[in-house]
Each structure stands twice: as structure tokens, then as C-alpha cells.
Amino acid sequence: MPFQPAPPIQSDITETPVGSNSETGANGAEAEFSNLQAVDDLGIDQPNQVKLKQYPARMFVGKKRAFVSSWYINRDWLEYSVKADSAFCFCCRKFNVGTSRVDAFVNAGYRNWKNANETDRGFHKHQTSKEHLSSYAMWKERERRVSSGKEISTLLNADQLQKNRYYVSSIIDVIGFLVENQLPLRGKLDAFDNMSEGGSGLFLSLLDYTIKKDPLLADAVKTLPRNATYTCHDIQNEIISLLSEVVTEAIVKEVGDSYYTLKVDGTRDPTGCENISIVIRFVNESESYEVAERLLTVATAEMGDARTLTDTILAELNKAGLNPSKILSQVYDGASLMSGKIGGVQKLLQEKLNKNIPYVHCLNHQLHLVVVHAMSAEAAVMDFFNVCNALYKYCKKPTIAVHYKGERLKRLLEQRWTGHLATVSVILNNFEEITSLLTEIDSVRAHGPELRMEAVGLLREISTPSFLFIANLVHEVLALLDPPNKLLQREDTDLWTGLSIVTSAKVCMQKLRCVEGFTKVWEKARAAANALPKSTTPKRRRTGNKNMDDYLVEETTGQREDDVETELKRLYYSTVDSVVGEMDQRFSEQNSHLYRALAVLDPESDLFLDPETVKCIMDLTQSPICYAEFEVAKNFLRSQKESKTEGDNWTTKLILSKYHKALQTMPSVLTAFKHALTFGASTAMCENSFSSLRNVFSDHRRSMLHKRKAQLVQLAFERDLTRKCTTEWKDTVLRRFNVRTRRLQLF
């Protein structure tokens, strides 16, 4: 019986892979892959003969025409790209030797539907061409060898295939290492032959070093064609794009069908390009129901209005393969562009998706505003920080820093109030060293008059009881706000936990408003001031009040210590009241239905698992509530809690992690717990991605396009997934690379 080849693949699916190819064109034979870089939905091992109910129509001489699925009949080589709306020849794409002329069926695709089925034109002309007949014969020969078990090893030695894979695998390892560690790849040169001239970059240098250290790789390099060394910048871009594509697909797979929280924040790089960090928070069911936050992409927009930004966010979600209707909540900063109740992104997103998506103002951002507004309410506190800033700049001078023996002072940052706490802590812990330094500078004339005068002024300022009092007061206040700030920076912190610790910090702040609190701070300041040697507390010469010359003065007329204490007491209570008032005003989620619903999902709540209260969360996703399941789950979890003696801290996170298998029999309860952990508290992960952006987009790497920049930032930020691309997912990367580059056969 004669051999019958396997029928071509016929698919009704129109989905396309995630990601895109290299953004730049290629030069020479090594860059042939760029011809099809925009079309990645064609067949790999067999023609992809897509059948649609209706194909896109185009105008031809005043009449709409479209591709017809019946054209597949008797044309097993024909395939159709949904992305390009064009027809291609599978065998010519795969087996054309590259030395003869090729036509549209290989390059951009054929789409002249009017002449497609005419004799001597369209399909018939291509099918009878010499190039097609040669490629078709090679295709069928390959199928015959595959069926007989010989496969391609008779055409290309199996040992050579292994060497090719090993070589390309090493290139992927080198690129993966560089992008994972935020290191630059390129120099001025792209080829090994020119490395002696210098400027080869880290990629070529590290690859060359690897070849010298690895005998197997060195042996593989000797067998490579000179036009397939795969060291040019286009190949680097292609591999970076493939790695980003695989990472994005892994993120989408982790999300699955779960609902997720959308987090967005933006920043401008030194070139003025807006970088929009899009992070998603979800419960990863494949990892014991652990909470995860992933950087989906770093997008950009030509315009900075809310509507454009909303469209950009939705486009990126759809491009990645995430369903926007699965958004459970959205977390942004408080800028009107994002938070506007009429025209902000949060409102436009709800209108476009036609669903209620609660907006959460980033708690970290709100905490920062609390500190900024409360501290700026008192001029004395602002003057205190100005002195701290002047002291930092003074101690940073090289001629001064060499004499300073204490802990290095921290710089004050307007964007991050944690720098204020660090600065005050250093000053209080190293106060003796600082005063000794200033006294020494003042006493040594070799330092020059300007340095000595500045030292005298700073010493006078920091030696007063007022300065020491404000330092201790600010330290007390900021130290209470530091734990919430650190917790909100963590990836696994949910909205309920974030609000709870902020509430706890506010209660502690309210306890400071008492006589005992003031006395404690005042005594610390007085003790520190009295401990200073008299020589370190320069005083101005007292002069009498000329207005009192004609009078007999029976008591002192200057400022007394009692007056200083009274003023500092007023300052103390005013500062504490400002902080508490700002926290009351800004953290208003405590009065919402959402907050109460999250509260009853806490095992410590008296209304634990009350279905009526949880209903508002379930309504966001139109999830049904089974009252019986909630009652059973409540009794089950409470009995488990009572039977445990190891003292576990019972939280929603612990319940979902330990008892998710049992809760799978109570799906409505499981959904409620998942939703509770999905609600995010801050955009800290977005801000963290900007650190990777600054490292990637350094001064010497400003010429890269945004697409490559975004891919590098994602790969550097999601290091664990990038590392998997060079280990357990290596075969996937190699196979996709093999499809897009045809010069070096890998499989």
C-alpha cells in the first residue's frame, strides 16, 4: 500500500501566541527571520489551515472579497494567517533553500483574493513554480522519512543537531544571565571576528569566555556556518522577546481563571517617555493558594490623559491574554488622573467594562501624605528638617567626612518619608560624635573661616533643647508609622491587613497625646542638652533691653525655661493631633461596606463568616452565596482553631493555605476567602519596578526602543521566571527560536 501523508492541521481557533518579535530589521542572511516577525500564527510542523465562519473582507475594484476555506481543497500546502489576513505556502516557508527567488507566499503573504483562483495567477502560478515544486518535494520527502523512523537525521546528522542546540542554548544562557542581572548586552561590534578591536560588549565577551571554558561548546562553534553565528543585535532582540513572551505566558497561566487586582503607576524616564508599570495581584491556585504579584508589562502612551491611559491598560491586558472582566479591584495613587470620580482612570475603566470595580487609594501613598501634611503644619518642625538637611550636606563634604567617625547621615527625600526617620535616628544615636566634630572644626583654624562659621552655626542650632525635643518627638511619631510602611511594601499584604495595621498605628498615636508622653520626650531632650559640655553650647552675649533703661527691673525679662517648655508642649500636642487627624481623614475605607466585609473574613472577628456582610464582595463577581456552606465552614474552622495548640496566628492567608482542599467542597466560602486576599493595599510593586527601570535604562543605554526596554525591565524584575526560561522552560524557548530562525536547524 503506498504511503499516505498525514493530513494538514485544520483549526477553528483564532487565538495567537502572547508577545511579539524583534522590533528592528535584519541585515544579510542571518536576519531572514524578520520577514515574518509580525506573523506568528502559522503552522510549525504542518500547515495551519484555519477555518473561520467569516473571513475579513477587502475592497477589490469596488467589491468586497475575502479568503475562502474551500481553497484548501487539493492544496495541502496552503495555510492562512489570521493576524496578517494573508495566505502562505507552508513548504516554501520551511524548505526553501534561500538561493532562489521567493514570492509573497513566503514573505509578507498573499492577499489578492480577486485573482487568487485564476489560471496562471495566484495559487496556480505559485503552485507550478520551480521553487514551489522543489520545496514541496523536500517536504514530502521529510514526511516519508519521519514515517519510516529515519526523520531528519539522514539529511542532517543527529550529532550536528545536538551541537546546534547546545550552541543556541548557551547563547540563551548568556542573554538570560545578563538581563536577569540588569546588565547591558551590546558594544559597538556584533561579530567575534572584530572582538580584537575592542567595544564588543558583555554579551560577546561573556560568550567568548564561555566558549574558552567549555570544550563541548568550543567544538560546536567549529561546525557552525559562518552566516549562522547568531551574535548580531537582531538575534539578541529576538531571544529577549522570546524570553519575555514565555514569562508573560507563565504569568497568564498562573492567573488562570482567578480574579485579579489591577495596580498601575507611572514615571517618566530621562528621555521624557512615560513608563506605565502594570502589576496584577492574584491568588495562585497552583502554589497552595499563595498570593502573588507579577509585573505584566511596562507600557507607554503618547498622550497622558485618562482616556488614553485607560485604553492602554485594557490593550495590554488583552494583548497578554488576560480577561479584563476578571478585574476585582484597582489600586492607584491619589492623582486626579487616576482617582477622579468622573473622568479618572478608575471611573472610565468601570464604564468601559460596565461593572463595579472598587478603587483603592494606595495606602503607602496615603501614609506618605499623612507625614508630609502633618509635619509641614508646624514651622518649627520644618525648620528642624532644614537644619537636618544642612547638617547632612555639611558632613558630606570631603574635608569634613574624613574627620567624622559616626554613622553616615541619611539624605532627606521628599518622595520617601522613611529617609526622615533614618536621618533623625542617626542624629540621636550619634549626637555626641556630631557635636564633637563641629566643636573640633570650630577650634582648628586650618579648616578655613567658612567651614568654621558653618560649624558654629550648626552647633548652636543642634545644641538647643528645642532641637533635641523635636528630634525625639519626630522619632516617636515616625517610628510608630514605620511598621505599617514596611508591611505595606510586602507583596503578600492584602487590603484588610494593611488597614488593620494602619488602624493600630493610629491608636498608638492617640496614646501619645498625654502628659506622660510629653514629659518623656521633654526629659530626654533636657538630659541630652545637659550632657553636652558647656564649651559645645556657644551663647550670644546678653544685652539689656534699651526700652527698660528708665525703669527699675526687679526680674528677668528674657525667655525663661518655663516659656520654652510651654511652647514645646503646644508643639507636641499640635503635631500629634495633626497626624491623628490626617489619618482619620485619609483612611476612610474603614467606614465602607468593603472594609466590613473583609473584616468578617478575619478568623478573629466576632462576626466571622457572616454571609450577609460578605455579600457585597461576592456581588462584585456575581458569585452565589450558599448560607449552609458558610455555616459549616464557620464551625469547621473554629473547631480546627481550638484543636491546634502550636499557637499559629490564624489569618485569612493561613486558612486558605492550609484548608483550601477542604474548602473546595464549599466553593462559595473558598471564593470569598480568595477575593479577600486578592484585594491589594498599595502600588509598592509598581514603584519597585521603577528601580529595575533605572538600572536597565542607564546613561549609556538611552538609544533602545521602548519595547526592548519594557522586556528587559520585566525579565529583570521577574527573575524567578526568567531563570526558569534558561532551565526547565529551555526546550520551549529553543523550539520557538527554531521556528523563527531558519538558518540553523535545531530539531
Parent domain of 80:
57-152
Query: In this structure, are 204 and 343 located in the same domain?
Result: yes
- Is the pLDDT at 540 greater than 70, yes or no? no
Query: Can you give the pLDDT at residue 645?
Result: 53
Give the CA distances from residue 250 to residues 18, 35, 215, in Å, rounded to whole numbers and listed in that order: 10, 27, 34
Query: Can you give the pLDDT at residue 187?
Result: 72
- Is the pLDDT at 27 greater than 70, yes or no? no
Residue holding cell 521553487? 131
Rounded CA-CA distance 478/421 in Å is 6
- Mean pLDDT along residues 292-320: 93
Query: Can you give the pLDDT at residue 528?
Result: 84
**pLDDT tens string 674-717:** 999 999 999 999 999 999 999 999 888 888 899 999 999 999 99
Query: In this structure, are 610 and 738 located in the same domain?
Result: no
- Is the pLDDT at 31 greater than 50, yes or no? no
For the ranges 88-92, 275-279, 546-550, which has the lowest average pLDDT?
546-550
| Whether the Cβ atoms of residue 18 and residue 228 lie closer than 8 Å to each other | no
Residue 115: Cβ-neighbour burial (10 angstroms; 0-12, 13-18, 19+): middle
Query: Can you give the pLDDT at residue 628?
Result: 94
Give the CA distances from residue 562 to residues 113, 559, 569, 588, 632, in Å, rounded to whole numbers and listed in that order: 96, 8, 10, 40, 65
Query: In this structure, are 238 and 329 located in the same domain?
Result: yes
**pLDDT tens string 652-676:** 888 998 899 999 999 999 999 999 9
Query: In this structure, are 378 and 483 located in the same domain?
Result: yes
- Is the pLDDT at 131 greater than 90, yes or no? no
- Report yes or no on 8 lying in a domain: no
Query: Can you give the pLDDT at residue 63?
Result: 86
- Report yes or no on 144 lying in a domain: yes
Query: In this structure, are 235 and 125 located in the same domain?
Result: no
- Report yes or no on 32 lying in a domain: no
**pLDDT tens string 357-394:** 999 999 999 998 898 888 888 899 999 999 999 999 99
195 secondary structure, DSSP code? G
Highest-pLDDT range among 153-167, 184-198, 528-542:
153-167
Q: How many independent structural domains does the chain possess?
A: 4
- Report yes or no on 9 lying in a domain: no
Give the CA distances from residue 696 to residues 19, 280, 721, in Å, rounded to whole numbers and listed in that order: 20, 22, 18
- Is the pLDDT at 634 greater than 60, yes or no? yes
Of 583 and 60, the structure prediction assigns the larger pLDDT to 583
Query: In this structure, are 171 and 239 located in the same domain?
Result: yes
| Whether the Cβ atoms of residue 8 and residue 39 lie closer than 8 Å to each other | no
Query: In this structure, are 271 and 343 located in the same domain?
Result: yes
Query: In this structure, are 401 and 450 located in the same domain?
Result: yes
Query: Can you give the pLDDT at residue 676?
Result: 94
- Is the pLDDT at 115 greater than 90, yes or no? no
| pTM reported for the whole predicted model | 0.75
Report the mean per-residue pLDDT for the chain.
84
**Cell numbers that stand for 503 in this block:** 488602624
Query: Can you give the pLDDT at residue 33?
Result: 41
Q: CB within 8 A of 732, min separation 6: which ones?
A: 246
Of 380 and 420, the structure prediction assigns the larger pLDDT to 380
Q: pLDDT band for position 743 (50/70/90)?
A: low
- Mean pLDDT along residues 510-530: 89
Q: pLDDT band for position 408 (50/70/90)?
A: confident
Of 142 and 718, the structure prediction assigns the larger pLDDT to 718
Query: In this structure, are 387 and 308 located in the same domain?
Result: no
Rounded CA-CA distance 422/430 in Å is 12
Domain end call among 100, 127, 152: 152
- Report yes or no on 391 lying in a domain: yes
Query: In this structure, are 256 and 339 located in the same domain?
Result: yes
Q: What share of the chain is helix, strand, coil (3-state, %, to 5)?
A: 55, 10, 35
**pLDDT tens string 442-501:** 888 888 888 889 989 999 988 888 999 999 999 999 999 999 999 998 988 999 999 999
Q: pLDDT band for position 189 (50/70/90)?
A: low
Domain end call among 152, 181, 202: 152
SS3 420: helix
Domain end call among 97, 125, 152: 152
Residue 192: Cβ-neighbour burial (10 angstroms; 0-12, 13-18, 19+): middle
Q: pLDDT band for position 191 (50/70/90)?
A: low
- Report yes or no on 549 lying in a domain: no
DSSP string, 637-700: HHHHHHH--S-----HHHHHHHHHHHHTTSHHHHHHHHHHHHSB---HHHHHHHHHHHHHS-GG
Backbone angles phi, psi at 9, to 5 degrees: -70, 130
- Report yes or no on 40 lying in a domain: no
Query: Can you give the pLDDT at residue 281?
Result: 96
- Mean pLDDT along residues 609-615: 92
Query: In this structure, are 335 and 188 located in the same domain?
Result: yes
- Report yes or no on 443 lying in a domain: yes
Query: Can you give the pLDDT at residue 5?
Result: 40
**Cell numbers that stand for 142 in this block:** 521529510
Query: In this structure, are 281 and 389 located in the same domain?
Result: no
- Mean pLDDT along residues 428-443: 89
